[in-house]
Amino acid sequence: MKNYLTLLLLAVLFTSCSHQKPTFTKDDISIIPKPSSIQLHESAFEFESKTKLVVTEAAHKKAANYLKGLFSTSAGFEFSESTSKTAAAVIFETVEGLKEGAYKLVVNPSQIIISASEESGFFNGVQTIRQLLPSEIESTNEVSVNWYVPCLSIEDEPRFKWRGMHNDFSRHFIDIDEVKSFLDYLALYKMNMYHMHLTDDQGWRIEIKQYPLLTEKGAWRTPNNQDTICMERAEENKLYTIDEAKFKTIDGERKYGGFFTQEQIKEIVAYADDRCITVVPEIDMPGHFKAAIDNYPFLSCNGQSGWDTVFTHPSCLGKDTTYEFMKNVLSEVVDLFPYEYIHIGGDEVNIASWKECPLCQKAIKDNNLKDEHELQSFFNRDIEQFLHSKGKKLMGWDEIVEGGLTKDAAVMWWRGWRPEAPKKAAENGNELVITPTDAYYFDYLNEGNTLEKIYNYEPVPENFTAEEEANVLGIQANLWSEWIPSFKRLQYQAFPRMLAVAENAWASKENKDFEAFNARVEKQYPRLDELGVYYYIPIVKGLDKTIAMVDSTKVKLELAYPLEGVEIYYTTDGSVPTKETTKYTEPFTVSDTVEIKARAYKGEIFNDIKKTKVEQKVYLNSEAIEPKSKGLKRFLISGKLKKVEDIKLKTTTKYEVVDSVDIADFKGKKPVNMVFSGYIKAEKDGIYQFETRSDGGDYLYIGDTLVVDNSGWHGPRKRYGNVALKAGWHPITIKYRPSDKPRVISAWYGMQGKDLQLINSTVTGF
Ligand code: ACM
Ligand code: ZN
């Protein structure tokens, strides 16, 4: 085997380079995830209708079939298979010793050789060939191009064996055809795990034959408040439009929903398997279970169903019938999904319901459990044993760590704010999938969990030992669908961020570089365009804050980052910007009180609208004084106050002189209200922006004009306001009413559109 490969390699290097074919450069190539190593050579291999696939083992089949499918659709080529190694062929060759998913690829002018040790390696090799081909390979129509693949050698293997994506079918449903498209995207980027969140409060999405009401009724809902908000958003952004096909009239009422029959589930599992993707079902229990409890009320504690203060009432863990129901459901589920793990959720359980339930309390007592967390663990263990009896293992969200868990359960860490959970699981020897809110929650907007943040996120926690790291199966991104009512919006949330997760899951830490990755992402867009994938494009900047003016102002818009082919369109009459409205070319003047709305377009792809108001201001005159002292007076007023406006200064209130607006030594101490007052300097006539940050609440005044309203009762947060100031000194007052644990009061100012500076003694006096 080894000799054969060496010979082939020599053939590549010395003999068979044909000069009619093009030679490619590194810049022509964009492979995501980035391969471990690439050696680029001269010339190219060209796929033609007569190209043969040399397939000699069952392990080659899925990869060969996928390659055939691609060419059949976009080139009209129907490749035939051969068992002997001929020229003008793609040769699949099984070798020993490569890890799961790994492959080697050698392309020379007359042959392509893919070697791997098992089927997913071959499949991944084909995906690399796919990304080396012109993007027209993704076309759904027959096109005529030269199907060149650059001559090269690649050695490649994944960092993690779990390279996952998740869809939430409950909050908003996507149908089987959409699922198949999504699986094709996963395949393209060498992702191999597909997590289906099939049940939740808002809908049950998998047929269970023993409990038909789960889907007859539980799959259909009266449109809820999230549907209503999505429909409102759809007026400005059609990606929020809920597909008509997902509505159905039942007993005269228009309902939203959908579900998969067991036959469809089998079809999905088989479709995924053809792409070397494993499907992991999630049946979330005992919380997030309203869709079942509504239709089988015996599952509840005290007959309760529906929402409590934060989560829904869970199923009762003091009744045998609950355990029986869960097991009956899971019996049907385990038969449909071949993978060893079954995900049982376990997140966000409203344990308060169990505190009030005599049956749950009896179960705690009878089983010598400490509390409701242990009751959930008791339930988990019972379910786990049941799954074992079916040859399966239990997986759950990281809440399952709380009441103790067996070594056998696998944990999905999602609560970014609970870093102790993965550590506890890892110390206990449990397998882990890393999917924290901080990076891998793709329901969060692109402006929050950005491509760069995701890419640079190191999934293995720093405090893991090497042994604990070995228990990290891999990573996954989640697409919770409360605000994702359409497949197009789902694509917008997933792309291009999924490419960052794909590369994080695949490439070694040392082999990663954001700038280089980003350049490769740009080269993927023509491919995504061919696939009809809707992706995120840079948002318009410049309208993040209200704009103030006296007579007129210039409005400057820009893109959050440059991307070829992206243009900005805007309106100033409140209407929705489209490609028919004004195209932004340079800063424009506004001299009226208007609302500006803008969005970017790349071809037919558009993004979320950014908007702001332009406010007309009247100059505040400065006072004819020259402060004698630098800094501000700080008055302290004790007593618990309901509102910031309750702060009252008496003429007798004593003050100290301070350099800046600062909480100083009062942080974390008993709350004391504060007033800062004095004068602040405006260097020249113009619009000034003031900003405060406080906990509890504050107001900032210039003279009698309230400029920043940061009142209410809140944790540390920023608010801003604009004011037109004539050059000179202006009276400033800041009133701060801290929260019960005083944290912060700070203030900044500056000319609108410029960097703000901290308000301190260089610009204040009295
Ligand atoms: C979750 O996001 N509740 C797992
Ligand atoms: Zn109960």
Render pLDDT for 254-281 as a digit per residue (tens, 0 to 9).
999 999 999 999 999 999 999 999 999 9
- Ligand 1 centre from 114 Cα, in Å? 40
- Which atom belonging to ligand 1 lies closest to the Cα atom of 414? 4
Q: In whole angstroms, what is the distance from residue 72 CA to residue 75 CA?
A: 6
Three-state SS at 66: helix
Name the nearest CA neighbour of 724 among 762, 759, 689: 689
Would 710 be classed as within a structural domain?
yes
Q: Which ligand is nearest to the CA of 418?
A: 1
Lowest mean pLDDT among 18-27, 400-409, 513-522, 659-668: 18-27
For the cut 70, the answer to whether the pLDDT of residue 437 exceeds it is: yes
Q: Which ligand is nearest to the CA of 444?
A: 1
Q: Which two tokens stand for residue 571?
A: 């309106």
pLDDT tens digits, 522-553: 999 999 999 999 999 999 999 999 999 999 99
Ligand 1 site, CB within 6 A: 347-348, 397, 414
- Which atom belonging to ligand 1 lies closest to the Cα atom of 348? 3
pLDDT tens digits, 152-181: 999 999 999 999 999 999 999 999 999 999
For the cut 80, the answer to whether the pLDDT of residue 72 exceeds it is: yes
CA 137 to chain centre: 28
Q: What is the mean pLDDT of residues 449-475?
A: 97
For the cut 60, the answer to whether the pLDDT of residue 10 exceeds it is: no
Torsion angle, alpha carbons of 328, 334, 340, 341, to 10: -60
CATH code (residue 570): 2.60.40.10
User: Which of the listed residues 124, 156, 188 is the one where a domain comes to its end?
Assistant: 156
Three-state SS at 227: helix
Q: Please, which pLDDT band fits residue 751 given cuts at 50, 70 and 90?
A: very high
Helix axes 487-494, 176-188, angle to 10 degrees: 20
Q: How many domains does the chain have?
A: 4
- Ligand 2 centre from 362 Cα, in Å? 9
Q: Please, which pLDDT band fits residue 371 given cuts at 50, 70 and 90?
A: very high
- Shared domain for 590 and 465, answered yes or no, is no
pLDDT tens digits, 606-627: 999 999 999 999 999 999 999 9
Whose CA is closest to atom 2 on ligand 1? 414
| Residue 556: per-residue pLDDT | 96
Q: What is the DSSP string of 153-222?
A: EEEE--S-SEEEEEEETTTS---HHHHHHHHHHHHHTT--EEEEE-EETTEE-B--TT-THHHHTTTEE-
Would 200 be classed as within a structural domain?
yes
- Shared domain for 604 and 688, answered yes or no, is no
- Shared domain for 230 and 142, answered yes or no, is no
Would 329 be classed as within a structural domain?
no
Q: What is the mean pLDDT of residues 215-230?
A: 97
| Residue 409: per-residue pLDDT | 95
Q: CB-based contacts of 384: which residues, under 8 Å, 6+ apart?
A: 393, 394, 406, 408, 409
Catalytic residue numbers read 348
For the cut 60, the answer to whether the pLDDT of residue 1 exceeds it is: no
Q: What is the mean pLDDT of residues 422-447?
A: 96
- Shared domain for 144 and 185, answered yes or no, is no
CATH code (residue 34): 3.30.379.10
Report CA Rg, the chain: 31
pLDDT tens digits, 201-213: 999 999 999 999 9
Would 627 be classed as within a structural domain?
no
Q: Residue 750 is inside which H or E element, if any?
A: strand 745-751
pLDDT tens digits, 631-666: 999 999 999 999 999 999 888 889 999 999 999 999
Amino acid at 160: F
Torsion angle, alpha carbons of 422, 427, 433, 436, to 10: 10
CATH code (residue 180): 3.20.20.80
Three-state SS at 674: strand
Q: Please, which pLDDT band fits residue 498 given cuts at 50, 70 and 90?
A: very high
Would 571 be classed as within a structural domain?
yes
Q: Which ligand is nearest to the CA of 421?
A: 1
Q: Please, which pLDDT band fits residue 7 given cuts at 50, 70 and 90?
A: very low
Would 378 be classed as within a structural domain?
no
| Residue 15: per-residue pLDDT | 43
Q: Please, which pLDDT band fits residue 5 given cuts at 50, 70 and 90?
A: very low
- Shared domain for 169 and 121, answered yes or no, is no
- Shared domain for 36 and 112, answered yes or no, is yes
Q: What is the mean pLDDT of residues 300-315?
A: 91
| Residue 23: per-residue pLDDT | 93
Asked if 336 and 282 count as a contact pair (C-beta separation under 8 A), the reply is: no
Asked if 393 and 409 count as a contact pair (C-beta separation under 8 A), the reply is: yes
CATH code (residue 714): 2.60.120.1560
Backbone angles phi, psi at 340, to 5 degrees: -70, -30
- Shared domain for 752 and 659, answered yes or no, is yes
Q: What is the DSSP string of 515-555?
A: HHHHHHHHHHHHHHHHTT-----PPEES-SS-EEESS-EEE
Amino acid at 718: K
- Shared domain for 139 and 116, answered yes or no, is yes
Asked if 287 and 202 count as a contact pair (C-beta separation under 8 A), the reply is: no
- Which atom belonging to ligand 1 lies closest to the Cα atom of 478? 2
- Shared domain for 152 and 166, answered yes or no, is no
Q: Please, which pLDDT band fits residue 84 given cuts at 50, 70 and 90?
A: confident
Q: In whole angstroms, what is the distance from residue 287 CA to residue 312 CA?
A: 7
- Shared domain for 66 and 213, answered yes or no, is no
Whose CA is closest to atom 3 on ligand 1? 347
Residue 286: asked if its preceding bond is cis (omega within 30°), the reply is yes
- Shared domain for 518 and 555, answered yes or no, is no
The beta-strand segments (E) located in 574-649 are 582-583, 588-590, 595-602, 605-606, 610-616, 632-637
**Neighbouring-strand partners of residue 324:** none
User: Which of the listed residues 137, 156, 175 is the one where a domain comes to its end?
Assistant: 156
Q: Which two tokens stand for residue 63?
A: 């990869």
For the cut 90, the answer to whether the pLDDT of residue 14 exceeds it is: no
Q: What is the mean pLDDT of residues 214-240?
A: 97
Asked if 319 and 298 count as a contact pair (C-beta separation under 8 A), the reply is: yes
Ligand 1 probe mutation, 166, 198, 283, 348, most atoms within 8 A of CB: 348
Would 558 be classed as within a structural domain?
yes
Q: Specify the higher pLDDT residue, 440 or 310.
A: 440
Q: Which domain holds residue 737?
A: 632-765
User: Which of the listed residues 531, 559, 591 is the one where a domain comes to its end?
Assistant: 531
3-state secondary structure 632-678: EEEEEECCCCCCHHHCCCCCCCCEEEECECCCHHHCCCCCCEEEEEE
Would 221 be classed as within a structural domain?
yes
Q: Please, which pLDDT band fits residue 466 given cuts at 50, 70 and 90?
A: very high
| Residue 578: per-residue pLDDT | 97
- Ligand 2 centre from 360 Cα, in Å? 4
pLDDT tens digits, 376-409: 999 999 999 999 999 999 999 999 998 888 889 9
| Residue 189: per-residue pLDDT | 98
- Which atom belonging to ligand 1 lies closest to the Cα atom of 480? 2
- Which atom belonging to ligand 1 lies closest to the Cα atom of 441? 2
pLDDT tens digits, 707-745: 999 999 999 999 999 999 999 999 999 999 999 999 999
Amino acid at 409: A
- Ligand 2 centre from 285 Cα, in Å? 14
Of the chain, the percentage scoring pLDDT greater than 90 comes to 94
- Shared domain for 185 and 171, answered yes or no, is yes
Residue 150: asked if its preceding bond is cis (omega within 30°), the reply is no
Ligand 1 probe mutation, 166, 289, 480, 483, most atoms within 8 A of CB: 480
